[in-house]
Structures are given as C-alpha cells and as structure tokens.
Chain A
C-alpha cells in the first residue's frame, strides 16, 4: 500500500504543473510541383519553433509543438490535414496555399481557430469586421499589385500612361486575385493591362511567351508559384525579354526560381514582404537547432528567401501567442485566446530587433477592423554572379485608397452571401 501511494505521489510529481503544449500545425508540402517553395518555408517555420523551445524554454514557459502534415498543395489533402490536427488543440493554421485557405475560411470560423495567411489567401480577409478568424497581415495580394505598380511609377517619373503591362498568372484562385486591383490601377494610371494565364502546374509556357513576344509589353508582372516561376524566368531569357522589366510577386522571388536559368536570370526583379540578409537570429538557429541535430528537413535552406519568410511567419505566430498570454494571464492559451492575441498584435522595430530580426518586416499593428497589417513590400533584384537578392527599395506602401474600397466591396459581398453580421462596433 505504501509503495502504491509513493508511486502515485511520484507520478503526480513527475507530471508536475501540467502545462500542455502549444500546438502549431504545419500544413506543409514537400512533394509535388510546388515543393520547391514549400520545403524552405516549412523548414523555417519549424526551425523557429524549435529555436524558441531550445533557447527560451518555449513560449512564456509553454513548449511549442509543431505537427507537420503533408498537403502536396492539394485541397483535399489539406482538408484531411486540418481535420486530423484540429483536435490536438491547434492554435493557428498557416496552410501556405490559397486554395486550401478558401476551403478553411468557413471551417476555422465555425471551429473558432484562427487562420493566418501571410501574403496569400483571400485578400478581402483583411477586413476584420467580416472575417473574425482570418488574418492576412503583414500584406496581401492587392497590396502586392499596388506596390508593384507604385514601383513602376517611380521608375517612370510617376506616369505609366500608354505603357503596356502584362500580368502572367497561375490560373487558379491565387493567380486571379490581383487582376481586380490591376484593372483599377490601369484605369487610374492609363496603362494597358493584358492578362495571360498559365495552367497548373506551369511547366508549359511556350505559347504564353510567344504572345508576350508579339505584344512587346513594357513590363511583365508575374503571379507564379512552384515550378511555374523557373520556367517563366527561363522562357523570358529565351525570348530575350529584358529581365529588369520582369517583376515577380513575393511568391516568385526565391533563389530556386532563378538559379536554374543561370546567368540569364540576372536582373530579374521580385517583390518581397520581408527583408532577406544576414540576420542575427540565423546564428541562434545554427547553434540551438541545426548543431543540436533538430533541423527540419535537411537543414540546407537556412537564410534563403522562403526560409526567412517561414521563420517570419513562425515569429509572428509566437509573438501573437505571447500577446495572447499577456492578455489572458495564462501560458496555456486556447485557440480563442490566440485569436485575441493575433488581433492585438503589434510589431515594432524594437521588438524585431530584440528578436534578432531587425527590419525583417514593416512595423504594423493589427486591430479588430484591420486584419491586414500595413501591406508594405520591397522590390529586390537578383544578382546572378553573386547569387543573392539585392534589395532595391525600402518598404513601399500600397495605395490604400485603391485597395481599401475593393476589400470592403468583396468582403461585404461575402458577408451578404453568408449572413455574417459586422463586428467591431
């Protein structure tokens, strides 16, 4: 009997103050035509949580647990992954796929779990009055379209009148998102917009580039992802399209998109929502995670564009979790509390510097109405000889007076379709 009591006591002690893990599912894709982008993003996402666990002892004392689930960028597998992980106490979902995002928006809202689609997903989710559980800070597609046009304006002495711009887009929800904003902007600035679609997965683009060659546009803007980017850069080189007039969005501007074309890709430009470069946090990840043998994947992506973005996404999730812990005075937060934390998130330069990521993103704060952040982005250019992305500009702000009304219009249509009452009043 004594032994039993002792055992029971020991068991109770060993379990200690029962702090449950904070669960962050990672709906990754390491297979299929989009794996080239999915792998570094997922590595960065997981490594940052591993770093927080190893270096800081978790988030506010609670360990972060990442559950990885392979989606292959496929919506059905995405649903399966969501259902398989939501019961584990998932705090936030980041599917890195616009298609899966569309699927999850109604589901997460019904289940009360926040969804963070950083720079992708449904643009009008920036309107927090309608989308209570969806966040797309720091920026979205319409911001990206506006930033790209503003950059072109600044290059052309603030006038794009009569210029010809081609949008080369992935023929999916993802690629179609910017069209509406670009149409508005073309009306406003008098440029001529042609949209050319590339079908999934994007390996076959000969006819599209033939059309581009015929139309002789001044600029080509690309909304591409996965294997489509590499092919597009190669095709642009084949028709000798001037690379400095070819601008990808922030999902078409990673190392693996340009390296296959070699020297020919020199001068290709792309947007970015986070700065790349040698951040102090990488040294920490190297010592605490990679050298400890806990690297996600093969550990070769440290510091690449999408690795940095994945890490940035994880950092924003961790900061939101910390905010939630402060708000609710508990380390063991729930998904509902996480949502409150995301809505109260404030990113300042000092905060980013303290985390060893000075200037990785713009300063922004999230509010009940605004789930979209500041929407700022930079333009970077590929230097093929040094094999680095060189930032050309500082963070450029989008034209909120153009995107704002579009966001309101689209989100209100969604609200009317689904009988959602406006919040924040």
Chain B
C-alpha cells in the first residue's frame, strides 16, 4: 500500500538508475542515516560503543570487502584475517613513524598497503580457481600472521610483540588511545563505513562491478566478450583488500587499541567474515551489513539474555551461545540459502503486493 512504485515518476535516467528506486526505501535509507548520525552519537555509552556498535561497523567494512571479492567476483578467499593484520600493522607503522599524520590518513594508507599486498596474493587467482584458490589464500593467512609474529620491525621491537595504538585525534577529538569518548570512536567508524559502503555500491553497479560479475558467472565467456580477466581479478583483489585493510586498521587502532596478531587476526577471523557474507548474502552490500550484524550482535545479545536476564552460569551460557548461533546459521541457510539479503528482498516483494496478493 505504502511500499510501491506506482506514483513515483522518474523523469531522468539518473533517477531511474538510483540505488533506491522506490520512494519509501529512499526515505527509510535517509531516516537510518539520520538516526545513525544525529541521534545515536548523543545516546551512545561506552558499553554500546565498544561492545556492540564498533565491532558491528568494523566487521561490516570487512564483510563488504570480502563480498566484493567472493560475492561479486567469485574468488574465494580465506585470507581475510591476514589482510586485516596487514591493515592494522601498516596503520601502526604509519601512526608511530609519522606522529603528526592524521589518523584518518593512517587508516587509509593502511588500506592502500593492504590493497598492494592483496594484489600480490591475488596473482595466483589467474591460474587457479575454487578450492585451490581458497588454499592459496589460506597460505596468505598463515604467512602474514607468521610474518608479523616473526619480524620485530613490524611491532617496533616491543618486548611482548604487541602493538598498541597511541593517542591520535581528529579535529582535536581523540579517536584512538585510552581517552576516547564513545561518540567520537563511533562516528569515526561510521563515517568510514558509510563512505566505503557508498563506494562499494557504486563500484559494483558500474563497469568495474559488471566485469567482476561476468568473471564470477563464467570466466571463459567473459574473456570472449572482451573482459580482461587479469584486470578484473586484480582490481577485485585490490578493492577487496583495501576495504579489509581499513577494517583491520580500525579494528586495531579504534576498537581494541592493542593487538597481538595470532589472537586478533587468526584463521578464525577469516572464517568469521566468510560466515558473515554467506549468512548475509553473497553479492549484496545490504547482505554484508546484515551478516555482520548477525554474527557480531547475536552472541552479545544471547550473552546478555542468558547471563544478565536469566542469571545462568557463564560457562553454560557460553556453550549454549555456540549451540544457538550454530543452529540458527544452519536454520537460516536451509530456509534461505541466499542469505539474509534474499529474505529481505522477498519481504520487499511481498510488501509491494500487500495487502492485495494475487
């Protein structure tokens, strides 16, 4: 009734090609942005920022990154944790080597370095596909973690091998280090997510994105119609790693403040991001966000309900949490193999006809 195309007239091609062609969707999108930028910063506290919102925003960036590579370009990667580590360590090196450099640039440079490393590890993708590529990227994961553990230059020769983020400010407001306020770190990460999500959306519906998708759908056919697989695959690796690197840099500098590479960027992080995009929906920006929300927020929610609400034993709750999240993942994938994004699409389809389905 309210959610419909009827009456929403487009008078230009630009208007016709916009991301949210339905007026209701558009307003909802603006409303979400308005709440995120204008309401949440005023009510957010330390717990919400550090336990819920920051991890969600940062994992969402990582999920978008992997979704570009896996969802849009069809190249499976298990190296996400390692690439996040590259972003984090590059950001750390820039932060400590150039103390006057603004943190936003350190994060971006961290992403740029990761893009280069990603291209390097993406080279084998020209020859190998599928499972074999997954194993090659798995090697990247282990190699990178080993490298950051092994070479003391990366952690500035600290005794423990940990890197910790010194205080850096944006417009005089600290966003890293101990004296940050919840709203500042939240807004800093939110700006990155919104800009990157916007970038990803526009990349994926332009020429670059179309070449990626043609490679995903059938690489030989794509090559025959003139898509350069070298370029397509390597740009996908570069763009994906750039996103993942930024997520890693934010994860280290803004969210955790101190990391130890084996624990923070281990293989389980690669799987976590892969689960996010599979559950959220491959080849969908919304799916990346939904998947990140599902994997990050659900455990926190369950913990608060089981321990805080029912007062159960913490160990029991921790075990149950694994069981429930696992069962939900299986349940979701059986009900909708294309992920939460597809469920969302179906809901919208139904809404268009509501209340007069035929």
Contact = CB atoms under 8 A, between A and B. Distances in A.
Interface of A: 28, 30-31, 35, 39, 68-70, 72, 74-76, 79-80, 83-84, 86-87, 98-99, 102-103, 105-107, 109-110, 122-124, 171-174, 176-177, 179-180, 197, 199-200, 410, 417-419
Contacts of A172: 161, 260, 262-263
Given A69-B314, A79-B51, A102 B177 contact: no
B166 A418 contact: yes
B151 to A, nearest CB: 13
B318 A103 contact: no
21 contacts: A28-B314, A31-B315, A31-B318, A31-B319, A39-B315, A72-B318, A74-B263, A76-B264, A79-B51, A83-B47, A83-B50, A98-B160, A102-B258, A103-B258, A105-B258, A106-B164, A122-B160, A173-B161, A176-B161, A180-B159, A418-B177
B219 interface: no
Contact of A30 (B46, B179, B303, B318): B318
A110 B51 contact: no
Interface of B: 46-47, 50-51, 55, 96, 149, 159-162, 164, 166-167, 177-179, 255-260, 262-264, 266, 300, 303, 307, 314-315, 317-319
A84 B51 contact: yes
A199 B256 contact: no
A91 B47 CA distance: 18
Contacts of A86: 46
A106 B243 CA distance: 28
Given A70-B318, A173-B161, A197-B149, 19 more contacts: A70-B317, A72-B318, A75-B263, A75-B264, A79-B255, A83-B47, A99-B260, A102-B162, A102-B260, A103-B258, A106-B178, A106-B258, A110-B178, A173-B160, A174-B160, A176-B159, A177-B159, A417-B166, A418-B177
Nearest to A69: B314
Contact of A76 (B159, B161, B256, B318): B256
A357 to B, nearest CB: 27
Contacts of A74: 263
A204 B314 CA distance: 29
Contact of A106 (B46, B55, B177, B300): B177
Given A31-B319, A69-B314, A418-B166, A103 B256 contact: yes
Contacts of B159: 123-124, 176-177, 179-180, 410
A171 B166 contact: no
A33 to B, nearest CB: 12
A93 to B, nearest CB: 14
A179 B259 CA distance: 19
A284 B87 CA distance: 53
Contacts of A80: 50-51, 300
Given A75-B264, A179-B159, A106 B51 contact: no
Nearest to A98: B160
Contact of A200 (B55, B256, B262): B262
Q: Is the interface of B mostly helix, strand, loop or mixed?
A: helix
Contacts of B51: 79-80, 83-84
A69 B318 CA distance: 10
Contacts of B164: 102, 106
Contacts of A419: 167
A317 B182 CA distance: 30
B298 to A, nearest CB: 13
Which 8 residue pairs spanning A and B have beta carbons closest together?
A: A106-B178, A30-B315, A173-B160, A110-B178, A70-B314, A80-B51, A83-B47, A102-B258
A171 B160 contact: no
B320 to A, nearest CB: 11
A30 B96 CA distance: 37
A79 B160 contact: no
Given A30-B314, A69-B314, A102 B263 contact: no
Contact of B50 (A69, A79, A180): A79
Nearest to B296: A76
Contacts of A106: 164, 177-178, 257-258
Nearest to B178: A106
Contacts of A180: 159
A177 B166 contact: no
Contacts of A105: 258
A31 B319 CA distance: 7
A135 to B, nearest CB: 17
| Most chain A beta-carbon contacts within 10 A, residue among B161, B255, B266 | B161
Contacts of B263: 74-75, 99, 172, 200
A171 B255 CA distance: 23
Contacts of B317: 70
Contacts of A410: 159
Given A83-B46, A83-B47, A103-B258, A176 B177 contact: no
Contacts of B160: 98, 102, 122, 173-174, 176-177
A39 B313 CA distance: 13
Nearest to B160: A173
B79 to A, nearest CB: 17
A312 to B, nearest CB: 22
A122 B303 CA distance: 29
B178 A68 contact: no
B185 to A, nearest CB: 12
Nearest to B99: A417
A107 B256 contact: no
A224 B58 CA distance: 32
B314 A200 contact: no
* Residue of B160, B164, B258, B303 most packed against chain A (CB within 10 A): B160
A123 B158 CA distance: 12
Contacts of A99: 162, 260, 263
Contacts of B177: 106, 418
A109 B300 CA distance: 26
A172 B259 CA distance: 10
Contacts of A84: 47, 51
Contacts of A417: 96, 166
